[in-house]
Structure 1
Amino acid sequence: MALAVPRKFEEIEPQEPIAAQLFQRLRTRIIQLDFKPGQALSETEVARRYAVSRQPVREAFIKLAAAGLVEVRPQRGTFVKKIEVEAVMDARFVREAIEAEVVRAAVTSVDAAAIVGLRAQIAHQRAIPEGDHAGFLAADESFHRTLAEIAGKAYAWRVVEEVKAQMDRVRYLSFGGATSTTVLIDQHERVVDALEARDRKLAEAAIRLHLREILKSLPQIAAAHPDLFDAQP
């Protein structure tokens, strides 16, 4: 099955590990629904599109399977996994537990320069054109990564990145419909306000509220896109 995607395939940097680059590029395409749940992925076709050998493609597929984004069906091939509500809920639970501790730690380490930087990120988020879902998702990730860096917990963010792929697919579907980006940005601002006030309880409450937003949109999204979700037992 040929890969039908609307965007040009990005070039691979030969100086960087190829499998890692392929994993990130394919992960992004799956999250942004360039590769839709249930779609077949061919090692040969991906290798041809990116002008690489099949070995790094195979390695990238293994990492994508570990992230819960693809599945290998014996004698049939590799397919993009449908979104599993339980996996989304598990990822959200883990992410909230980690990021609640991140902001609690950030309260003691944040300084004036960091607050200025966070507010600049929020201003950038507000300037992103409506409909630029990929742009907003990237800005949102930068904001949360920065919180971890301020707290001195960069590894915590790497753990979050490992577990949140299924959650990201739902978040991407929610933009422009089930979830208002204005609401999300306002929630970011309340987190920064709490950090600036050095109010640990308020900061934790703000990030927990923010990360529970998906609980409101998930049922609506699953009902609107049943073909993208794994049928519940």
Structure 2
Amino acid sequence: MPTKNLLTNESSLSADTALVARRTRRRASAQGGASAQLPDLTANVSFDSHEPIGKQIFRALREAIFVGQMVPGTPLSEKEVSDMFQVSRQPVREAFIKLVEAGVLQVLPQRGTFVKRISPRQVREGRFIREAIETAVVRKAAVSITDEQLQALADNLREQKLAAKSNDTAAFLALDEAFHYAIAQAIDCTAAWETIQDIKAQMDRVRYLSLPDVSPLDLLIRQHARILAGLRAHDPSAAEDAMRSHLREILMSLGPIAERNPAWFEADEPERVPLST
């Protein structure tokens, strides 16, 4: 897998975007979660692309929400977004519907559409489903992965270390996405990764809030290294155990992150059957 090419796709984030997001989060915390002005996202779409404009708008809005450029409570209107991108309302409406389905936007009757707070329960549910899928994927990958695919993962891991050394969380997160995607590619089942994109939406929002203070990059790199070691050994059980441990890291960071950013989270609603064990 060509890691550098993957960094130019939907998982990539610029360092400038990450900086803006951090400043936005600080302002939001200081203001008790007050909504921010809609950021200019026009650089994130291309009318020259063969990709439908609605999908690009969806991804641009989703990324802005994930990295905190649009804090919980930020109002969104079809007119404002369509004016920004100079498109009709139809592709914007389609993007809004997908964002509602992903659980990051909410429509309040007679009031409008707003960025939704993070649901701790949905984070745990998303993690539970993601674990079920990715542990199955990594077990199969441990049997069939090629030397070339292993080398691509090793190259990715080396770039993760460089990103951590320079404290470039945006680059690290893009590499993290590429690492997991490459494992699905190793078994020729990228549909598995695509399936969990909306499922892990709430997880991704917590991830951006947690780095690097609550979930140190070096810790995540060591977890990735364990996954790679299991794959190199062609040991399905070791690879699965490493992946399971890695995906459960968010359960450790969720509480501290919610405490630090109360305006970003809904009140918790525990499951009848705990999904964290």
TM-score tier (shorter): over 0.9
Task: Summarize the Cα distance change of 1:128–1:27 in structure 2 as closer, same or farther, 3 Å threshold.
Answer: same
Distance in 2 between residues matched to 1:38 and 1:11, nearest whole Å: 24
Partner of 1:138: 174
The residue type paired with residue 73 of structure 1 is L
The residue type paired with residue 94 of structure 2 is E
1:1-233 equivalent positions in 2, closer than 5 A: 3-5=37-39, 9-14=43-48, 15-128=50-163, 130-232=166-268
Task: Summarize the Cα distance change of 1:6–1:221 in structure 2 as closer, same or farther, 3 Å threshold.
Answer: farther
The residue type paired with residue 219 of structure 2 is V
Moved more, 130-139 or 77-86: 130-139
Distance in 2 between residues matched to 1:183 and 1:6, nearest whole Å: 34
Task: Summarize the Cα distance change of 1:195–1:231 in structure 2 as closer, same or farther, 3 Å threshold.
Answer: same
Distance in 2 between residues matched to 1:23 and 1:154, nearest whole Å: 20
The residue type paired with residue 31 of structure 1 is F
Partner of 2:19: none
Q: Percent identity?
A: 45
Counting matched residue pairs gives: 233
Distance in 2 between residues matched to 1:69 and 1:162, nearest whole Å: 10
8 Å CA contact retained: 2:36, 2:70: no
How far did 1:186 drift?
1.0
- Normalised by the size of structure 2, how large is the TM-score? 0.80
Task: Summarize the Cα distance change of 1:2–1:88 in structure 2 as closer, same or farther, 3 Å threshold.
Answer: closer
2:72 alignment partner, SS class: coil
8 Å CA contact retained: 1:12, 1:50: no
Q: Gaps (5+ residues) in structure 2?
A: 1-34, 270-277
The residue type paired with residue 216 of structure 1 is M
Q: Gaps (5+ residues) in structure 1?
A: none
Pairwise CA RMSD? 1.7
1:59 alignment partner, SS class: helix
Deviations 1:38-89 (A, max 9, x none): 1111211111111211111111000000000101111111000100000000
Moved more, 122-131 or 199-208: 122-131
Distance in 1 between residues matched to 2:257 and 2:168, nearest whole Å: 19
The residue type paired with residue 154 of structure 1 is T
Partner of 2:14: none
- Normalised by the size of structure 1, how large is the TM-score? 0.95
